[in-house]
């Protein structure tokens, strides 16, 4: 898919299962909306295929695709009441007035807006508009519902609430949702599977767990959650485990199935919450443990957890520590403290070959 | 203090409207109740003659005809202006297109009508081409016809319809059309059910800006029409210049003003009316309650 010389989508291939809550996740401008618009029928790709339920829908007009969209800006019809907005698809199909009332009533009930049926969209709050848009998109009973950043205009608290509501609607009606977002938390918490996109390409398509725990590329690791990334060289490989040399830090053990070639380079990543931080040196008997000694450069208290930037040699590691008072804890870790950071070799990952590989 | 200043600012405007609008209007009203002078002018004697003459069959026929012609010309103008305004609003070269619409205003209105006379005349541009290409044997009568009147009226007032339509369509959120298509509307349905209701204001303005001046048209039928295409404006002008009946001219002019004002008021009413009555809403609400088994709410 190109706009002029600009390639907005490049060789994207996705198989989405029936009834799945599927998310497209990526930074702004990566082509998520363009992909949705191709599925909905508002853009024509230069090449490729869109197949829904075994039917190639590309030659079909948007109104014939059995796909409905919840638009980013809601796109409610300002001249129609909530009732008439939701009834719009039925009126087009000349459904009998009685059936329209029953069905619109049912869908307004689903999104808890029965009491607002007579209002105009301008009289609704953001969350209510959102729900009208959802009811209106669902009333045709589409085989696929497309949602383009549906929560981005809501405040944080309402966003959480609507996300849960969306999830429960999905469970209730069981149709396929294709959900676009640039918010990794949203995607991780509700999706069955996520496709992470960047620059018009799909980098990884997997379950939230795999995306977070086993990112395929440096970009995915960086984009999903926070992480520590290091360029490293591979020293030796054996027994499903590689020994890396990280400049400035030292030798790091990592479990890996991919088996990088010894002598090559690799990008190594470890999530901050997987790193243990303590004043005492951890049990030296474990061979799978990576242990480094360092100095706390910057402790950041943020309520339920603390963040530390720990300088080990020439490298700085980001470490998250949860506050759990039931645990026997030593004295608080403070600025300039000498500490030990450690993590198990199966918590770190190699996310790709190094830049010069 | 503020109020006084406001009055001060409004002062010149009030003075202007009083001297050049209200006073002349009152003079016309006064004249319409006077008796016609023998050699033009008026006699200072109260009379209802001018108002009684308004009901003559001849005049009623001219009025009906003027109304029909104005309506047809306005509908054609709007039908052309609507797609034009739409294309302009969606175009990337809006400024250029706006300029092209405004360019005709740089030429005097009468000159533009004269240009049409040259184009449509017996030895004019169109006939010249038709003769040269052998499509016709002798010149067609294009000028001084009802068709010529309609054509030139539409030409003259098209920009007045395009501009308000363009400015409302430009503010219209086009994702609404995509939403309509997405929900199952054909292209035409999307336009009729979503675009048109949302640009009602612009259509209303375009209608007024074309219908009112066309209803009072005088120069166009005079220059490119024939005897049969005479309109109310020509009738009034004849009363003034040929019959020299000032009171009748006054009562006719007031009638036109009165009829168009009533028309505007009716249109404004229609435009402001909600599309659904309160009773229908109540019925709907009751229906949900019944459908959901929640009892009366
Ligand atoms: N109609 C268009 N014309 C030109 N470029 C476009 C158009 N639509 C989108 N793009 C470009 O394509 C890229 C992807 O856009 P989009 O799919 O909207 O991204 P996202 O939804 O992921 O933020 C962007 O760089 C955007 O500038
Ligand atoms: Mg987008």
What is the nearest CA distance from B75 to chain A, expressed in angstroms?
Answer: 24
Q: Is the dihedral of CA A286, A287, A293, A299 positive or negative?
A: negative
What are the pocket residues of ligand 1 if the criterion is a CB atom closer than 6 Å to any ligand atom? A 3, 6, 8, 26, 28-34
- Predicted structure pTM score: 0.80
Chosen from A64, A79, A95, A122 to mutate, greatest number of chain B CBs within 10 A: A79
Structure tokens at A309: 């930037």
- B38 or A252, higher pLDDT: A252
Q: How far is the CA of A112 from the centre of ligand 2 (A)?
A: 27
pLDDT digit string (tens) for B42-65?
A: 888 899 988 988 888 888 899 999
Task: Check CB contact under 8 Å for A101 and B276.
Answer: no
Nearest-angstrom CA–CA distance, A268 and A347: 11
Structure tokens at A58: 């590309």
- CATH fold for domain B56-292: MetI-like fold (1.10.3720)
Nearest-angstrom CA–CA distance, B54 and B248: 8
Assembly ipTM: 0.80
Nearest-angstrom CA–CA distance, A131 and A112: 8
Nearest CA in chain B to A36: B182
User: Is B186 in CB contact (< 8 Å) with chain A?
Assistant: yes
Structure tokens at A60: 């079909």
pLDDT digit string (tens) for B256-267?
A: 888 888 888 888
Task: Check CB contact under 8 Å for B288 and A114.
Answer: yes
pLDDT digit string (tens) for B266-297?
A: 888 887 765 554 445 555 655 655 555 443 33
**Structural domains present in chain A:** 2-219 (3.40.50.300), 220-351 (2.40.50.100)
Task: Check CB contact under 8 Å for B281 and A118.
Answer: yes
User: Is A216 in CB contact (< 8 Å) with chain B?
Assistant: no
The residue nearest atom 12 of ligand 1, judged by CA position, is A8
Q: Give the per-residue pLDDT at A305.
A: 84
Task: Check CB contact under 8 Å for B288 and A89.
Answer: no
Average pLDDT across chain B, whole number: 88
Q: Give the per-residue pLDDT at B39.
A: 81
- A129 or B5, higher pLDDT: A129
The residue nearest atom 25 of ligand 1, judged by CA position, is A29
Chosen from B180, B284, B297 to mutate, greatest number of chain A CBs within 10 A: B284
Name residues 85-104 of chain A within 8 A of B (Cβ).
Answer: 88-89, 92-93, 101-102
pLDDT along chain A (357 residues), means of 10: 82 90 94 94 90 90 93 93 95 92 92 92 92 94 93 85 90 93 91 94 94 89 89 85 88 80 85 90 80 89 86 91 68 84 89 59
Chosen from B181, B182, B186 to mutate, greatest number of chain A CBs within 10 A: B182
Chain B CB contacts of A117 under 8 Å are: 284-285, 288
What is the rounded radius of gyration, in angstroms, for the C-alpha atoms of chain B?
Answer: 25
How many Cβ atoms from other residues are within 10 Å of residue A34's Cβ?
A: 19
Task: Check CB contact under 8 Å for A137 and B183.
Answer: yes
User: Is B288 in CB contact (< 8 Å) with chain A?
Assistant: yes
Q: How far is the CA of A31 from the centre of ligand 1 (A)?
A: 6
Nearest CA in chain A to B288: A105
Nearest CA in chain B to A64: B184
């Amino acid at each position: 898919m190109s706009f002029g010389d600009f390639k907005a989508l490049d060789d994207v291939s996705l198989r989405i299962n029936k009834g799945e809550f599927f998310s497209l996740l990526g930074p702004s401008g990566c082509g998520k909306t363009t992909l949705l618009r191709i599925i909905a029928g508002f853009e024509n790709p230069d090449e490729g295929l869109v197949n829904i339920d075994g039917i190639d829908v590309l030659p079909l007009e948007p109104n014939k695709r059995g796909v409905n969209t919840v638009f980013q800006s809601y796109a409610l019809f300002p001249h129609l009441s909530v009732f008439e907005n939701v009834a719009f698809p039925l009126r087009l199909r000349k459904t009998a007035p009685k059936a329209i009332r029953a069905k619109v009533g049912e869908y307004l009930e689903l999104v808890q807006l029965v009491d607002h049926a007579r209002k105009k969209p301008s009289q609704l709050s953001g969350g209510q508009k959102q729900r009208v848009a959802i009811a209106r998109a669902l009333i045709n009973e589409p085989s696929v519902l497309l949602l383009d950043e549906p929560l981005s205009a809501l405040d944080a608290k309402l966003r959480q609430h609507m996300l849960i509501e969306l999830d429960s609607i999905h469970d209730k009606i069981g149709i396929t949702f294709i959900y676009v977002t640039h918010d990794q938390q949203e995607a991780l918490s509700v999706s069955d599977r996520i496709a992470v996109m960047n620059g018009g390409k799909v980098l990884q398509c997997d379950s939230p767990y795999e995306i977070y725990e086993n990112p395929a590329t440096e970009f995915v690791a960086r984009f999903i959650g926070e992480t520590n990334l290091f360029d490293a060289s591979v020293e030796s490989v054996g027994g499903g485990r590689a020994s890396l040399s990280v400049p400035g830090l030292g030798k790091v053990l990592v479990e890996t199935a991919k088996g990088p070639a010894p002598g090559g380079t690799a990008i190594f990543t470890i999530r901050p919450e997987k790193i243990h931080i303590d004043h005492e040196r951890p049990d030296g008997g474990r061979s799978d443990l990576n242990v480094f000694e360092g100095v706390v450069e910057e402790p950041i208290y943020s309520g339920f957890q603390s963040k530390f930037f720990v300088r080990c040699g020439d490298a700085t590691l980001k470490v998250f520590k949860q506050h759990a008072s039931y645990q026997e804890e030593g004295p608080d870790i403070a600025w300039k403290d000498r500490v030990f950071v450690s993590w198990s070799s199966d918590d770190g990952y190699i996310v790709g070959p190094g830049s010069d590989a | 203090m503020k109020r006084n200043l406001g009055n001060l600012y409004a002062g010149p405007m009030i003075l202007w409207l009083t001297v050049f609008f209200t006073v002349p209007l009152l003079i016309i009203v006064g004249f319409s109740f006077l008796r016609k002078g023998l050699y033009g002018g008026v006699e200072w004697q109260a009379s209802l003659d001018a108002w009684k003459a308004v009901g003559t069959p001849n005049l009623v026929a001219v009025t009906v005809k003027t109304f029909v012609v104005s309506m047809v010309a306005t509908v054609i103008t709007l039908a052309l202006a609507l797609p034009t305004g739409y294309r302009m609003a969606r175009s990337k070269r809006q400024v250029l297109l706006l300029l092209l619409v405004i360019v005709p205003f740089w030429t005097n209105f009468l000159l533009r009508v004269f240009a049409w006379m040259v184009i449509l005349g017996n030895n004019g541009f169109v006939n010249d081409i038709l003769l040269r290409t052998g499509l016709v044997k002798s010149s067609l009568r294009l000028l001084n016809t009802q068709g010529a009147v309609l054509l030139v009226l539409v030409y003259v007032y098209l920009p007045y319809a395009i501009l308000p339509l363009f400015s409302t369509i430009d503010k219209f959120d086009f994702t609404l059309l995509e939403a309509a298509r997405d929900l199952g509307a054909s292209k035409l349905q999307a336009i009729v059910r979503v675009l048109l209701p949302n640009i009602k204001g612009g259509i209303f303005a375009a209608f007024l800006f074309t219908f009112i001046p066309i209803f009072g048209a005088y120069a166009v039928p005079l220059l490119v029409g024939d005897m049969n295409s005479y309109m109310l404006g020509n009738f009034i002008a004849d009363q003034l210049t040929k019959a020299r009946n000032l009171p009748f001219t006054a009562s006719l002019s007031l009638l036109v003003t009165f009829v168009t004002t009533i028309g505007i008021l009716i249109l404004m009413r229609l435009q402001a009316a909600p599309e659904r009555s309160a009773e229908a809403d109540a019925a709907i609400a009751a229906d949900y309650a019944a459908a959901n088994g929640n009892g009366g709410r």
